[in-house]
Structure formats: structure tokens, C-alpha cells
A = this chain, B = another copy of it.
């Protein structure tokens, strides 16, 4: 009946995760964050941390899960907006860039985690990327754009696409979102990368065997 409860369940938990993300967004590296630092940023007493997480690795893993949600949202939007095949890559790259900017901290966290020091987090992020690549392969097959490729080759192509885009991420996160010129450069280059890859995929079978 209490109209407004002073303490919602999981409130501090969210505050802590947001705090960690905020610090990452400010340029700190996740691996170098400490428990006290995070709780301070969250405006919470240090010991509260242990009510929700065992250690920093733990909070990292939970951030990976949330990262998964962000990626799914992005995929959903891409599927909804990319209708005609000819603009496929420009559109996709555009959607990717706008999501990366809207969730800057999340993507920073992702880029860091790929070479982070926690094997578990690393594996988590890698797994998200694999999932993303396989969904991409499904979509492409459904659109009948790549009938000439074997399943294995299609998977490889999508893997390379996802990697290339992920690498562009580090370019993108290195420039401020306001620097429109630089962002535009990155957009163009990433798009061309993808086009190059798909030209390769289109002519793949001719070469092999």
C-alpha cells in the first residue's frame, strides 16, 4: 500500500552496475576498477557491494548479460528496418553506429572485455559475438542472398563481418560522438569493409576447387 517505497528491490544493484558502466564510460578500464571506487560512484557504502556481487568479476559477468540484451535490441531494430537488399549494409552499419553511440559505455565495456584479464568475461563476450554472427547467418539465408555458400562458408563470412564491425567499434569509441566528420569516415570505411567481404563471398566458390 505504500505509495512510494524508499527502497526498491534491486535498486542498489542497478546503481552499482550503472556506476561501473559510468566509470568505464569516463575512460576508466573495467579491470582497473575497485569495489570502493564503484560503490563511491554509486553513492553507496562499500560493504553494500557484497549484498549483490561476490567480486568485480561477478559484476562484470552480469554486465555481459545486459550487454546481450542491448545486442538483441540492436538486431531486432536491424531486422525491422533493413528491407531492401541493396541498402542492406549501409543501413546495418548506420544502426550499429547509432546503437554504439547510444550505449557507449556498454560497447566500451565490450571492447575492453575482449582482451580483459577475466577469462570468464572474455568468454562471455566472445559467446555473445558468436551468437550474433549465427543470427546474422540465419537472416542472410532467409533473405536468399547467399544461396551459393555452404553453411560453413556462410558462417565464416558472418564471423568475419562481426569481427570487422567489432573492430570498427574501437575506432568509433575513440572519437567523440560530436565529431561528425570522423564518425562519417568510420561509417564509410566500415561499410566498404563489409562490401568487400560480401564481394568476396559472392565470388568464393569460383575460386575454390
Contacts and interface: CB of A to CB of B under 8 A. Distances in A.
Interface in A192-207: 192-193, 195-204, 207
B204 A199 contact: yes
Main secondary structure of the interface of A (DSSP, over half): helix
A38 to B, nearest CB: 14
A115 interface: yes
Interface residues of A, number: 40
A74 interface: no
A112 B32 CA distance: 13
Interface in A164-184: 164, 166-167, 170, 173-174
Most B Cβ at <10 Å: residue of A28, A119, A192: A192
Contact of A28 (B27, B29, B117, B156): B117
Given A156-B192, A174-B122, A29 B200 contact: no
Contacts of A160: 164, 193, 196-197
Interface of A: 27-29, 31-32, 108, 111-112, 114-117, 119, 122, 126, 156-157, 159-160, 163-164, 166-167, 170, 173-174, 189, 192-193, 195-204, 207
19 contacts: A27-B117, A28-B117, A29-B31, A31-B31, A111-B115, A114-B115, A114-B170, A115-B173, A122-B174, A157-B196, A160-B197, A163-B163, A163-B167, A196-B204, A197-B200, A199-B203, A199-B207, A200-B201, A202-B203
